[in-house]
Each structure stands twice: as C-alpha cells, then as structure tokens.
Chain A
C-alpha cells in the first residue's frame, strides 16, 4: 500500500514569511511528485511538479525533492493571505499509467 504522509496542520504563518510544507512517501519506486492547492470548497489545482533531486523554482514557489530520504517539500516565499488553502502532495510511481496517490493535505493559514 503506497502511502503519502503530510502533517494536517494548520500551519499558521504571518504575511510575508516563508511557509514550508513537507511530505514523505513510502514507495521507493516513485518518480514524479506534485503539489496541488485546494481552496475550501473547491477542487485541487496543480501548482508544481518535480521529477529529479534538488530544487525547482516557479515564482514564489520552490519544490524540493530528496529521493534518498523519500521526502518532498514546498516552500512559499513572501506568503500572502490568498495563499491560505490546503496543499496536497501527490506521488506517482514510474512507468505505466499516471495514477497519483495523494496525501491528506496540510492546511496553511497566512494571517495579515
């Protein structure tokens, strides 16, 4: 049974701070990793994907992957109240069809 673990939070940070969201996964065969953002009452939307060890930056978002430690994280710089949402980590194993396994999500609250 593939597992993706996230701290449910809530993680509370002040506006302008860096928010750090973490995720661990159990399947060493996993090859692709994704972060989705889900606003309350809305459906998930993809914000970042990462496939190789290291950092990947996109605007205020940075995804970090460490396959040896089976760990992926998302950093949000200059956090804004509009970033308040649940962040879902999703992991897909290599080959075959794309069937991501989702974590339960971490609730982020950015307060003014």
Chain B
C-alpha cells in the first residue's frame, strides 16, 4: 500500500516569496491533515479536511497560508508571502473516516532566507 506522498521534499525561498506544497493521501483516506513542525517542537495542526470540507483551520494563519482539497483527494498548501518564521517541516497526514491512526508523509522541508 502506497503511503502519503508529498512534494517537494525540500524548498529554499527568500522571504516574501511564495511556495506551494502538494500532498496525496493514502487511497481511501477521507481525512487529511496539514501540520507544521518547527525544529525542536511537536507538530502543530494547521488544517484538517474531511473529504473536501474543512473541519478545523483555527490555527492556520489565513493572512498568508491557504489550503485546498478540491476533489477530496490530494491537497495543496500555499504560503504567500513567506516569513522567516515559516521555516519548518510541513507534514501531511491522513486517516480513514472515523479512524484514529494518523499516517504521516515524509514531510516538505521549507527554509526561508
């Protein structure tokens, strides 16, 4: 069974530039999460989707971050404009509806300089 796929794996951008990360969850998983993990900290939820609807985006900095999951499968997370403090690993995760075992992707490492 294929795992959660993410791309790109690594990205270096200058502050005020934009970046987009893509995620394809495990087949059949209705629930998709985007987490931000800053070095030395635990993952922080940015947004949770159930199919193509948003369940929780209370911690998403909406002035600069956006996410979509238009067809209820893959998802894109965008940052525009990026700040230095956005340097982190962006983890996509998924689970089946009603499930409580989250499967994480390998992450997209962002460095903002």
Contact = CB atoms under 8 A, between A and B. Distances in A.
Interface of A: 4, 6, 8, 32, 34, 42-46, 49, 88, 92, 97-105
Contacts of B44: 102
9 contacts: A32-B100, A43-B104, A43-B105, A44-B43, A92-B100, A98-B100, A99-B56, A101-B45, A103-B42
A98 B31 contact: yes
A98 B20 CA distance: 26
A98 B95 contact: yes
B8 to A, nearest CB: 15
B113 interface: no
B50 A97 contact: yes
- Pairs of residues from A and B, 10 with the lowest C-beta to C-beta distance, nearest first: A102-B42, A43-B104, A104-B42, A98-B100, A102-B43, A97-B55, A104-B41, A103-B42, A43-B107, A105-B42
Interface string B50-66: 10000110000000000
A44 B104 contact: yes
A45 B102 CA distance: 8
Given A4-B42, A45-B104, A98 B56 contact: no
A46 B102 contact: yes
A46 B101 contact: yes
B68 interface: no
Contacts of A103: 42
Q: Which of A42, A43, A45 has the most CB of B within 10 A?
A: A43
B100 A49 contact: yes
A57 to B, nearest CB: 19
Interface string B85-111: 000000100010011111011110000
- Interface centre among A4, A88, A98, by most chain B C-beta atoms within 10 angstroms, is A98
Contacts of A4: 42
